[in-house]
Amino acid sequence: MMLTDENKKYLLTGNEACAEAAIQAGCRFYYGYPITPQNEILTHMAIRMPQVGGTAIQVESELAAINMVHGSAAAGARAMTSSSSPGISLKQEGISYLAGSELPSVIVNIQRGGPGLGDISPSQADYFQAVKGGGHGDYYTIVLAPGSVQETADLVYDAFDLADRYRNPVMILGDAQLGQMMEAVIFNKKCGPDSYKKEWALTGANGRKRNIIKSFYPVQGELEEFNAKLQKKYNLIKSKEVRYEEINTEDADIVIVAYGTCARICKEVLMKNKTPNIKVGLLRPITLWPYPSQIIQEIAGKVRAILTVEMSAGQMVEDVRLSVLGRCPVHFYGRTGGGIPSPKDIIKKITEIISVNKKTIN
Amino acid sequence: MEAVYKTPETLIDTPTHYCPGCGHGIIHRLIAEIIDEKDIKGQTIGIAPVGCAVLAYNYMDIDMCEAAHGRPPAVATGIKRVHPDKIIFSYQGDGDLAAIGIAEIIHTANRGENITVIFVNNAVYGMTNGQMAPTTLINQKTLTTPQGRNEQSDGAPLRICELLSVIDGSRFIARASVTSPQNIIQTKQLIEKGFNTQIQKKGFSLIEVLSPCPVYWRMSSVESIKFIDEEMIKAFPLGIFKDWEGRN
Ligand SMILES: Cc1ncc(C[n+]2csc(CCOP(=O)(O)OP(=O)(O)O)c2C)c(N)n1
Ligand code: SF4
């Protein structure tokens, strides 16, 4: 299975596209532990990595996997691990260490229902964990949320690039639906690790001063200084890397805010909306951290209401409310535990919002 | 005049943070001497643990990485896979390796990962003020076994060399101590053999070193040495447990 023809269309699952894009982005070290619904990433890596001279290991646990990523990233290589919700909980220790050691690395979370063992159907209930740090300490992971198989591949390239540019862990936040569905995908973006000189990496101190990769600052004041440096980096990322997609937000009465699979469903809502006097728009965050707060704030000043749609009991809606800061009502429609919102449900919710809104206006 | 005794080049001349009578400093020095003698300073990468040796990188003039508690074998694996020709060692305490990191060490050995592990067994958790470790002796008093370790409720001392030597991927497994000049010389030879195992790409090697923690054993340095020689080696006999050259 060689998938290297540029501009040729391949029919792949989101998981396979994710794995292949990582290889084409120069990732040569992959460590994983099986968990549904992302097993195809591990199996694709097992086939493809040997073909490109890379390493794919099925390891004993998610803890080991993330720490192997830590080692390979410290050694200067592009490394990745993938998992689904319960496995990502285990990886949080390692992600905090990666952030504290400023190690570029890519972590894929193909979310499933929780809490606990939950189920294996799609969910967006790891939003808090992904965008608020997740592990201990003051840190952020850059979080990219694809909405299609093609975008999954495209964002994987960007993930490696952002990771190297900012020396920070980057998470691809998908879900079971995105991971399992098949779509046409073209691998047309190429990038390699060569453009980043990793002078800090551990390669053996031959002919240079030694390098140390650590996150331990026991001397009073040093850790505060280091945290200040991290926060400066996070602010830079916030100012430069926010991404989103806007559809029909210009003169909308209501704007839906949704990401990933939910955003796809909401695009259908926009097409199916048969209420001529209610104009519906969509704002789809592509980066969940940094969050597109600014544009949501601007939209809030122009619309009658914002509706947030998620496959969770209401997580991203908190960031929407923080962005809106009371400028307009924020409504929420969510499904949990593997429930997927249908366009019909969402249209019904919109109709409700408008009628309630009318009553309060009249 | 030729100097017959000097600080190894790999050892950084800096005040120590270890307590008087602690074994970590001796073991650091042995590693530094071996790196000097084998002239591999520029090719060696070490992994420091969480534990009293968390600052090991303050003392060794080589590339070093920190790892989360118990995870050095996984971090070492990640580095070794990128740099298969570099010499990678992890340095771990008994809490780090035998408790929280037991899965990582067993599976790293089982993969036959071509790395060397220096395992410092001082039978307590030093850094967190002297709680029971998996290696604490029966009846040994610690902060969390105030009446002494009770086999029924706390389990018996975990013998890592014995455990790892039955794993196919292990190639050189040995236990030594730092209680006398002879034992120190022996420790050095065994650690060197561990490095040679790796350099010759023979696979996984681990050298356990019985090491005093006078502070949390609540003993003098001299009593600590006696404790190892008379008590600790009963639970942890010295010797070579696995040798790819077939010397055991
Ligand atoms: C996940 C996690 N749990 C607990 C700790 C606290 N901790 C630090 S060192 C240590 C024990 C170290 O003991 P050992 O490995 O035997 O090394 P020693 O200090 O005795 O040399 C513990 C439990 C930690 N840092 N991280
Ligand atoms: S507490 Fe024990 S192991 Fe830690 S430095 Fe002191 S003597 Fe050494």
Asked if A285 contacts A295 with a C-beta cutoff of 8 angstroms, the reply is no
Task: Determine if the peptide bond prior to A37 is cis (ω within 30°).
Answer: yes
Cβ–Cβ contact B9 with A under 8 A: no
Question: Does residue B188 carry a pLDDT above 90?
Answer: yes
Task: Return the beta strands (E) in A102-206 as ranges.
Answer: 105-111, 142-144, 169-175, 182-186
Residue B163's pLDDT band, with cuts at 50, 70 and 90, is very high
Cβ distance of A93 and B104 shorter than 8 Å? no
Sketch the domain layout of chain A as residue ranges.
9-200+211-241, 245-358
Residues paired with residue A11 on neighbouring β-strands, in sequence order? A184
Question: Do A308 and A284 contact (CB within 8 A), yes or no?
Answer: no
Element (H, E) at B102: helix B102-110
Helix axes A149-166, A14-24, angle to 10 degrees: 40
Residue A361 is predicted with a pLDDT of 40
CA A196, CA A189: separation in Å to the nearest integer? 17
B215 in contact with ligand 1, CB cutoff 6 A: no
ipTM: 0.96
Q: Which residues of B touch A193 (CB under 8 A)?
A: none
User: Integer distance in angstroms from the first to the last C-alpha of chain B?
Assistant: 42
| Closest atom of ligand 1 to CA, residue B94 | 16
Q: How far is B61 from chain A (nearest CA, A)?
A: 6
SS3 label, residue A173? strand
Q: How far is B131 from chain A (nearest CA, A)?
A: 21
B65–A57 C-beta distance less than 8 A: no
What is the helix (H) or strand (E) element at residue A281, kind and residue range? strand A280-285
- Give the CA-trace dihedral at A288, A83, B78, B189, to 10 degrees: 130
Fold exhibited by the domain A9-200+211-241: Rossmann fold (3.40.50)
Closest-CA residue to B33 (of B188, B198, B186, B183): B188
Peptide bond into A290 cis (omega under 30): yes
Instruction: Give residue-wise pLDDT tens across range B112-143.
Output: 999 999 999 999 999 999 999 999 999 999 99
Q: Report the CATH number of the B23-242 domain.
A: 3.40.50.970
CATH topology of domain A245-358: Rossmann fold (3.40.50)
> Distance, CA B215 to ligand 2 centroid (Å)?
6
Q: Nearest to residue A120, comparing CAs of A128, A111, A129?
A: A111
Which tens digits make up the pLDDT trace of A129-183?
Answer: 999 999 999 999 999 999 999 999 999 999 999 999 999 999 999 999 999 999 9
Order of strands, sheet of B44-48, starting from the edge strand that comes earlier in the sequence: A212-213, B63-66, B44-48, B87-93, B116-121, B204-210, B170-177, B239-243
Mutate to test the interface with B, among A55, A72, A215 (most CBs of B within 10 A): A72
Nearest CA to A347 out of A249, A251, A272, A248 is that of A272
pLDDT at A277: 81
> Please, which pLDDT band fits residue A193 given cuts at 50, 70 and 90?
low
CB contact under 8 A, A71 and B65: yes
Taking the CA of residue B130 as reference, the ligand 2 atom at the shortest distance is 1
Ligand 2 atom, smallest distance to B52 CA: 4
Spatial separation of the C-alpha atoms in residues A129 and A141, rounded to whole Å: 10
Task: For residues A33 and A87, give the distance between their C-alpha atoms in angstroms, rounded to a whole number.
Answer: 8
Q: Are B206 and B170 in contact (CB under 8 A)?
A: yes
**Across the interface, do B77 and A68 touch by the CB < 8 Å criterion?**
yes
Evaluate whether A9-200+211-241 and A245-358 have a shared fold. Answer: yes
**Interface mutation target, options B36, B79, B85, chain A, most CBs of A under 10 Å:** B79
Gap from CA of A300 to ligand 1 centroid (Å):
50
Question: Average per-residue pLDDT in chain A?
Answer: 95
In contact, B107 and B93? CB cutoff 8 Å: no
Neighboring chain B residues of A65 at a CB cutoff of 8 Å: 74
- The amino acid occupying position A279 is K
Atom of ligand 2 nearest to the CA of B19: 6
Q: Domains of chain B: which residue ranges?
A: 23-242
pLDDT tens digit sequence for A39-83? 999 999 999 999 999 999 999 999 999 999 999 999 999 999 999
Spell out which residues of chain B touch residue A73, defining contact as CB-CB under 8 Å.
Answer: 78
Whether A204 contacts B42, CB under 8 Å: yes
